[in-house]
Copies of this chain bind each other. A is one copy, B any other.
Amino acid sequence: MTVIDIPADSPFGIDNLPYGVFSTAGSAPRVGVRVADKVVDLSVVLGDEVFARPSLNDFMALGPQAWASARARIAASVRGEVPAHAVADLADVAMHLPIEVADYVDFYASEQHATNLGRLFRPDSAPLMPNWKHLPVGYHGRAGTVIVSGTDIVRPCGQRKSPAAPAPSFGPSQRVDIEAELGFIVGVPSEPGAVITPDEFAEHIFGAVVVNDWSARDIQAWEYVPLGPFLGKSFATSISPWVVPLAALEAARIDTPVQDPEPLPYLRGDQKWGLDVDLTVEWNGQLVSRPPYAQMYWSPAQMLAHTTINGAAARTGDLFASGTISGDRKDQRGAFIELTWGGAEPVEVNGEPRTFLEDGDEIAIAATAPGPGGSRIGFGEVRARILPATQAGR
């Protein structure tokens, strides 16, 4: 047996206990919980077969009572002695995609981001569309290309057309960008036709991750009218390996900014589901932005209610992301197209002026939130490196 040393200021203390899927050399992926810099094998410690599986989906489907019970038992276990073979150093494990993604939806819930993108993509129109303050705008993305942090990103190829060119050309995207987001994961499904109200959010949502929704801006700009983004986004969406349980975010719950006009009744609730989560964006190790989730206009509870208001069922493993998180200040913008104003205002990264991503660049997006009693809740990070394009010869 062993005792896990949990420093008092660890963002992965007893108040957090995020879930992930890990493997050690020669072993099958299974569910673990992160405690300080250790991974605790729940298939051993809780002795439940649901944790011996290669995704969280079966556990997530069990619902809030089972989640609360497991959380209490895990907290009790990791405070005491744990079988030594159930504990591994983080550095010694491989992390896997923690969930089987059912449907992936990406929202557009930051007023600052939507305003900035509107100015950049449609300079001759009002930056916010007339619908933007009435509903959380969203669209479906590609579930099959959601990948875990640490997976390299191959620069995508595709069609892009400069305004002056008579026709599009093919080649590697010249404007590969990031989008710093939070993602929310459905545990308990809904029946077809049943609406999840904003106040039923915690009955369905298992937890949250950090998301980097990679974007090829040149491909996107050419393809996206009239049916929205497709190949400009579908090459990769990276998520952090540790799913922070909703229960660990209680102290982070805040009101959203004032919503004016007041949304339609189906988007209203009594519970606060704004979240005081602070993100950081590091570009080759240098901090370039601090996006504040607290400023997001639409709450994730409103996003989920909106998704189901037409009767569409939610499934275990559905992932929906907030859209780029951008705050009021320039150094709070969560995408480089905004941070560099379409490439016109480079930022300095390790002494070099930079706009979009170059081959070999590495991006790490991390997040923390307030926990109980002044503690911090860590999400960990979503990190990936850009590799050169491989389809360039076509």
State whether the Cβ of A68 lies closer than 8 Å to any Cβ in chain B.
Answer: no
Residues facing B in A225-242 (CB within 8 A) are: 225-232, 234-236
Q: Does A286 count as interface, using CB distance less than 8 angstroms?
A: no
Asked if B265 contacts A157 (CB within 8 A), the reply is: no
Closest to A141 in B: B140
Q: Interface digits, A162-194 against B, CB 8 Å rule (1 contact, 0 not)?
A: 000001111000000000000000000000110
Which one of A73-81, A88-96, A127-135 contacts B? A127-135
Give the docked Cα–Cα distance between A225 and B128 (Å). Answer: 10
Known contacts: A129-B226, A318-B144. The answer to whether A311 contacts B266 by CB under 8 A is: no
A145: B residues at CB distance < 8 A: 192, 312-313
Q: How many copies altogether?
A: 2
Given the known interface contacts A131-B222, A144-B103, the answer about A138 and B227 at a Cβ–Cβ threshold of 8 Å is yes
For A4-25 the 0/1 string (1 means CB < 8 A from B) is 0000000000000000000000
Which residues of chain B are within 8 angstroms of A232 by Cβ–Cβ distance? 310
Counting chain A residues whose Cβ lies within 8 A of the other chain, the interface size class is 35 or more
Q: Which of B139, B231, B306 contacts A312 (CB 8 A)?
A: B231
Contact (Cβ within 8 A) B312 A134 = no
Interface SS of chain A = loop
Cβ of B227 and Cβ of A139 under 8 Å apart? Answer: yes
Q: How far is the CB of A68 from chain B (nearest CB, A)?
A: 26
**A142 interface residue (CB < 8 Å to B):** yes
Query: Within 8 Å CB of A157, what residues of B?
Result: 309-311
Please determine whether A227 and B312 come into contact, CB atoms closer than 8 angstroms.
no
The answer to whether A231 and B121 touch (CB under 8 A), given A154-B311, A167-B261, A391-B311, is no
What is the CA–CA distance of A142 and B130 in the complex, to the nearest angstrom?
25
- Say whether, besides A137-B227, A142-B140, A311 and B156 are in contact (CB < 8 Å): yes
| Least Cβ–Cβ distance between A157 and chain B, in angstroms | 6
Known contacts A140-B142, A167-B261, then 5 further A-B pairs from the complex at CB < 8 Å, ordered by chain A residue = A137-B226, A158-B309, A219-B310, A227-B228, A231-B310
| A/B interface sample: 7 pairs, CB < 8 A | A103-B143, A134-B161, A144-B313, A145-B192, A157-B310, A227-B229, A231-B310
